[in-house]
Copies of this chain bind each other. A is one copy, B any other.
């Protein structure tokens, strides 16, 4: 764990993983508002008292869950170390749009996470963990951009601002998609539904190509960035 949010440090790693994955499934199935310790326990096939024993309250468990999401993200980034900066950047960007074989988890989990995030202004523990997660995401994007500049692969840009743009654009696109996710697809909701892939493609055209210094070769960039 990169965070000290878990109250009971003695929870074995494999039990922790199991309970965190059960929390993910329970959030997808019930959303944030209807999430209960019982439902997480049911998903895990464990007792509710075990959850309370290891994590304390539901709120504390969710802070631990946010820390778990950050760990997972950092593991994914670390696994790309040694790859070319443009590959690492594209890999992370692609991770933020729905998979071809996504069965609705992107929308369901995206909505639950958005609901959890809107609790942050009213809850210091959520706020601190969420701020830490998001700063880490921005920082990892910025690190990769700085690596690319140092290696002479990327043009010299403001790495922090560029990272903020990449993260905010895909975060905003997810927000826009998940809030209309209950709609029957029609012309109006379609642009929101397509926002993550549209934004991913536009980031390829305007940002990745620019970093690589070939931003006038737009046709290939658009094709490459499309789903």
Contact = CB atoms under 8 A, between A and B. Distances in A.
Interface of A: 111, 114-115, 117-118, 120-122, 124, 127-128, 130-132, 134-135, 138, 155-158, 160-162, 164-165, 167-176, 178-183, 187-189, 191-192, 194-195, 198-199, 201-203, 205-207, 210, 215, 218, 222
A203 B203 CA distance: 11
21 contacts: A111-B118, A120-B179, A121-B179, A121-B180, A121-B181, A121-B182, A131-B188, A157-B218, A158-B202, A161-B198, A164-B202, A165-B169, A165-B203, A165-B206, A167-B172, A168-B168, A171-B175, A172-B173, A206-B206, A206-B210, A210-B215
A180 B120 contact: yes
A64 B181 CA distance: 22
Chain B CB count within 10 A is highest, among A134, A168, A201, for: A168
Given A131-B188, A168-B169, A206-B207, 12 more contacts: A118-B118, A118-B179, A122-B182, A134-B191, A135-B187, A158-B222, A164-B199, A165-B199, A165-B206, A171-B172, A206-B206, A210-B215
Interface of A is mostly: helix
Given A127-B180, A169-B169, A179-B127, A157 B188 contact: no
